Chain A
């Protein structure tokens, strides 16, 4: 059995003088791990040890130790080079891994230093949309709600908000907890003071609780329509209209219509749903987008949602051949006149009036057995000088296989507080 081999760079114990300390073991281990040639390392560590003794006499133990460490560090590039040049493949691989690790660690340390968070420098309050509030926060909730606060350092990094403390400062008697929960029961404006460390900011809170959102069940648009405001109103707990609201909207199929703030833009014929959230309330509306056609005669299979203009001087009539199948017809006068032209059908067609709550609108559900049925509108001699409006046709069900469309993509939107 052979005797255990001493470490490659360890000095023989028999030669050590009591006054001369050996090189620190970490230096041995460092050079060993780098894969430096033993003779090269021996010479360097020996020189360092010898000079260290001289320096200890001149500058003391601490100064000599500092010199030793700095000298060894400054020798590292040369040692790396020696190891890379004379080391075995394993040594070189180990060296590469070491260098890569050092680069990684230094990069991470540099990144951490650059990206480190500073002390709180600013308190920012945001709307539902995430935009920074300038004129205060609108609270449309009836239940207690947390104020949307962000704490930023001088570089704009987001910090924890747990330590922010709040208190009511002035204005309407709004209940504010120390953690920033506000409860709005009535309309009113209050100033809330938020503090963290040395930063204190006053926030204007507009309490406008909303009990209910009222919106039409459906909305009809045409492709050529410009952007339109969505028709909905917010009602407070006292039954009065709430004018200052902030909320979020979502159109379920963005290929049919898109949203900008609280306005809707029709894109192509089709149906979609729009949902509106304000405070605790939510409401939905079906939106149908039609395409203008000059006539309802001989519609193509893809014409699911079309609308034609109606222009009838006194004593004239207009007649269209209806497509085969089920469909809805809806006539709407231009303007608010309630006088509706006479409507008749002929041929293999059966129709039924549907109830509408608008007197200037007539809605009919029809089914035809062949494509020879006709629909006629007449402005009798005894009626108005001119009847103007539009007649829309919506096939049931809509044939999606004619022009396949991609699956619906929702399109969210938010709107900033504003008077409605």
Chain B
């Protein structure tokens, strides 16, 4: 069964996958902002991450309280097995959609 993902959800999942152990709200936000060249609000990022967690695509754990966060802990996110499957499905779907499109139109990945 495939889970339908919004564009921000897919981007957040990819960011978590990319960041690995360092995937927490601020890092995901900075990563997405840098790649999309736009500012995402903290609320938007956390709402998306929480939705992904509700869907079972992410898991989260709280770190120890950190001085740099005014004594608050970080919430680290990690891809679940379902999240990994969802990313693969999304890639397969994208590849399938791009199939047959001329080379000139294909995006050049960095």
In the complex, how many angstroms separate the beta carbon of A228 from the nearest chain B beta carbon?
77
Q: How large is the interface on B (under 10, 10 to 19, 20 to 34, 35 or more residues)?
A: 20 to 34
Interface residues of A in 7-53 (CB under 8 A from B): 11-17, 20-23, 39-40, 42-51, 53
Contact of A43 among B25, B67, B68, B70 (CB under 8 A): B25
CB contacts (< 8 Å) of A48 on chain B: these are 42
Are A11's CB and B68's CB within 8 A? no
A42/B47 contact (C-beta < 8 A), A15-B67, A16-B70, A74-B41 known: no
- Knowing A15-B65, A74-B43, A75-B41, the reply to whether A42 touches B26 (Cβ < 8 A) is no
Are A49 and B70 touching (Cβ within 8 A)?
A: yes
Check A11 against B71 for contact (C-beta < 8 Å): yes
Interface: B82 (CB within 8 A): no
B35 at interface, CB cutoff 8 A? no
One digit per residue, 1 when the CB lies within 8 angstroms of any chain B CB and 0 when it does not, for chain A 156-187 equals 00000000000000000000000000000000
A81 sits at the interface (CB 8 A): yes
Q: CB-defined interface of B29-61 with A at 8 Å, one 1/0 digit per residue?
A: 100000000000111101100100000000000
Residue A200 at the B interface, CB < 8 A? no
Bound Cα distance A74, B43 (Å): 7
A residues near B26, Cβ cutoff 8 Å: 47, 50-51
Known contacts A42-B75, A43-B75, A47-B29: does B70 contact A22 (CB below 8 Å)? yes
Q: Give the residues in chain A near B97, CB-CB below 8 Å.
A: none
Complex contact A50–B65 (CB within 8 A): no
Contacts of A53 in B (CB 8 A): 68
* A45 to B68 CA separation, bound complex (whole angstroms): 12
Interface residues on A, range: 20 to 34
CB distance A45 to B41 under 8 Å?
Answer: no
B46, B65, B70, B74: the one contacting A23 at CB < 8 Å is B70
- Check A39/B43 contact, CB under 8 A, given A16-B71, A20-B68, A46-B74: no
Chain A residue contacts of B65, Cβ below 8 A:
11-12, 15
* In the complex, B73 has a CB within 8 A of chain A: yes
B67 touches A81 (CB 8 A): no
Shortest distance from the beta carbon of A68 to any chain B beta carbon, whole Å: 10
CB distance from B69 to the nearest CB of A (A): 4
Q: Determine how close the nearest CB of chain A comes to the CB of B53; give it in whole angstroms.
A: 10
Residues of chain A from 52 to 93 with CB closer than 8 A to chain B in the complex:
53, 71, 74-79, 81-82
B8-35 interface (Cβ within 8 A of A):
24-26, 29
> Counting CB contacts under 8 A, is B66 at the interface?
yes
Asked if A78 meets B47 with Cβ closer than 8 Å, knowing A42-B73, A46-B73, A71-B41, the reply is: yes
The CA of A13 and the CA of B72, in the complex, are separated in Å by 10
Could you say which of B46, B70, B71, B73 contacts A44, with CB atoms under 8 Å apart?
B46
A45: chain B residues within 8 A (beta carbon): 70, 72
The answer to whether A47 touches B42 (Cβ under 8 A) is: yes
Any A CB within 8 A of the CB of B5: no
* A78-B70 in contact given A43-B25, A43-B75, A51-B26 (Cβ < 8 Å): no
Given A15-B65, A47-B42, A51-B26, are A21 and B70 also a contact pair (CB < 8 Å)? yes
**B81 CB-CB contact with A under 8 Å:** no
The answer for the CA separation of A74 and B72 in the assembled complex, in Å, is 21
Q: How far is the CA of A341 from the CA of B66 in the complex (A)?
A: 121
Q: Are B46 and A11 in contact (CB under 8 A)?
A: no
Separation of A34 and B66 alpha carbons in the complex (Å): 25
Q: Which residues of A contact B71 (CB under 8 A)?
A: 11-16, 22
**Which chain A residues border B47 with CB–CB below 8 Å?**
78, 81-82
A-B contacts, 10 of them at CB < 8 A, read A11-B70, A13-B71, A17-B67, A43-B74, A44-B43, A46-B72, A47-B25, A47-B69, A49-B70, A78-B47
A50-B68, A75-B44 given. 10 additional CB < 8 A pairs?
A15-B67, A42-B75, A43-B74, A44-B25, A46-B75, A49-B72, A50-B69, A75-B41, A77-B43, A82-B47
